[in-house]
Amino acid sequence: MRVLLTGGSGMVGRALLRLAPRVAPGLDLLAPSRAELPLTQREAVTDWITAHRVEAVIHAAAKVGGIQANLDDPTGFLAENLRLNDALIMGAFRAGVSRLVNIGSSCIYPRDWRQPLVEEDVLAGPLEPSNEGYALAKITAARLCAAISGQHGFAYRTLIPCNLFGAQDHFGQDSAHLVAAAITKILRAKADGADHVTIWGGGRARREFLAVDHLVRFVLMALNRLQTLPLLLNVGADRDYSVDEYYRMIADLAGWRGRFIHDRSRPEGMQAKLMSSARARDLGHAPPADIRPDLRIAIRAARMAL
Ligand SMILES: NC(=O)c1ccc[n+]([C@@H]2O[C@H](COP(=O)([O-])OP(=O)(O)OC[C@H]3O[C@@H](n4cnc5c(N)ncnc54)[C@H](OP(=O)(O)O)[C@@H]3O)[C@@H](O)[C@H]2O)c1
C-alpha cells in the first residue's frame, strides 16, 4: 500500500519510518518534506497524491509546542494548524483517497473534566485556555474527518494520543514537552555538577505519557482495518504520574541526586487529563505496564543528542 506520511521529520513521523519496515513490511511510506509538498495548499496536496498514486494517508504534521510556545503564539497555533489540516484532509478527499489516519491530541478534551476521559467527552465542556487554539484546530480536523466518513463512506479516523516521548524527542529545544524537558534539565544538571533543578509549577499536575513506538505500532496495525475503528479513539498509556514523579523517576534512572525547586510563577496547564484507552486495547493496543524501560531508552538517546 502506498501511503503519504505528513510530518515525516517529526518525532511521530520518524518513529513510523523507523518501525514500518519491521512491523508493516508491505507499506510504502512516502514522506515528502515541506519543500517537496506544501501541505497548506489544497490543490498541491491533491495533485501530489494523484501523481504518486497514494492509497492512504497518515497525517502526523502539525505546529506542535509546549505550554509557553502556545501561550506566546496562540494565533500561529490556531491559524497554521487550521490551514494545514484543511488543505491536507480536503486535498486527500478530493484526490479520492478513502483511508486516512488523523493524529489528534488529548488537548482536545475539556479542562478539569471527569477522569479517565472517554471519547464522548470531546466538546462536552470548555477547553484549557493555554492551548485553546491548537485544540480547536485539532477538534476541527477530527470533525472534518468524521463528516467525510459519514457523508461519503470513507474511513477517515482520528486517533487521540496522550503526551508522547521517545528516543527522537526534542531534547534541549524550546518545543520540548515535560519528559524531554525533564531529561534535558537533569542530564545538564548532572554534567554541570548542579545541586538543583527547577520544575515549572507546583509539580502536582498529572500527565499521561506513552513512548511514541507504542502509538506507532497501533497506527501501522490499524491502517489495514480503519473501517472497523470508531471515528475517535484514545491511544494512551492508561496511567498517569504527577510532574514531580516524572522528575524523580528520571533523576533516579539518570543517576542524579540533587534537589527540586518549584517555580510556581510558571504555567502548568491542566491539573489532570488521563484518558481511557479501553477501546483501543480491545483493538490490539498494548501500552506497557511500566514506563521505566522506555524512559531509560529516551535518557540514553538524550545523552547522545545533548
Ligand atoms: N509529541 C507529543 O507529545 C504529541 C502528543 C499528542 C499528539 N501529538 C500529535 O502527533 C503529531 C506529530 O507530533 P510530533 O511530536 O511528531 O511533532 P514534531 O516532532 O514537532 O513534528 C511536527 C512535524 O510536522 C511538520 N510540520 C509542522 N508544520 C508544518 C507545516 N506548516 N507544513 C508542513 N509540515 C509541517 C514538521 O515539519 P518540519 O520538520 O519541516 O518542521 C514535522 O515533521 C501532531 O499532530 C501532534 O499534534 C503529539
Q: What is the pLDDT of residues 83-121, one digit of tens each?
A: 999 999 999 999 999 999 999 999 999 999 999 999 999
**In the numeric block, which cell numbers belong to residue 7?**
510530518
The torsion angles phi and psi of 157, rounded to 5 degrees, stand at: -120, 140
Sign of CA dihedral 172, 215, 132, 128: negative
Q: What is the pLDDT of residues 199-228, one digit of tens each?
A: 999 999 999 999 999 999 999 999 999 999
Look at residue 67 and tell me whether its pLDDT is greater than 90.
Answer: no
CA of 196 to the centre of ligand 1 (A): 32
Which residue CA neighbors atom 7 of ligand 1 most closely?
105
**What residues have CB less than 8 Å from 51, skipping those under 6 apart?**
none
**Residue of 39, 64, 139, 179 to mutate, ligand 1, most atoms within 8 A of C-beta:** 64
Which residue CA neighbors atom 11 of ligand 1 most closely?
60
Of the candidates 140, 277, 151, which has an alpha carbon nearest to the alpha carbon of residue 214? 277
In CATH terms, 178-204+240-271+300-305 corresponds, of 3.40.50.300, 2.30.40.10, 3.90.25.10, 1.10.287.1770, to 3.90.25.10
Which residue CA neighbors atom 17 of ligand 1 most closely?
10
291/46 Cα distance (integer angstroms)? 40
* Domain limits, CATH 3.90.25.10, in the chain: 178-204+240-271+300-305
Question: How many CB atoms neighbour CB 80 within 10 A?
Answer: 17
CATH class of the domain whose range is 2-166+209-238+274-288: alpha beta
Positions annotated as catalytic residues are 134
CA of 261 to the centre of ligand 1 (A): 31
Question: Furthest-apart CA pair in the chain: how many Å?
Answer: 60
DSSP secondary-structure letter at 237? -
Residue 18, pLDDT score: 97
**What residues have CB less than 8 Å from 201, skipping those under 6 apart?**
243, 262, 263, 264, 266, 267, 268
* Domain limits, CATH 3.40.50.720, in the chain: 2-166+209-238+274-288
Look at residue 175 and tell me whether its pLDDT is greater than 80.
Answer: no
Mean pLDDT of the region 68-75? 92
Among the atoms of ligand 1, which is closest to the Cα of residue 11?
A: 16
174/200 Cα distance (integer angstroms)? 14
Look at residue 6 and tell me whether its pLDDT is greater than 90.
Answer: yes
Q: What is the pLDDT of residues 223-239, one digit of tens each?
A: 999 999 999 999 999 99
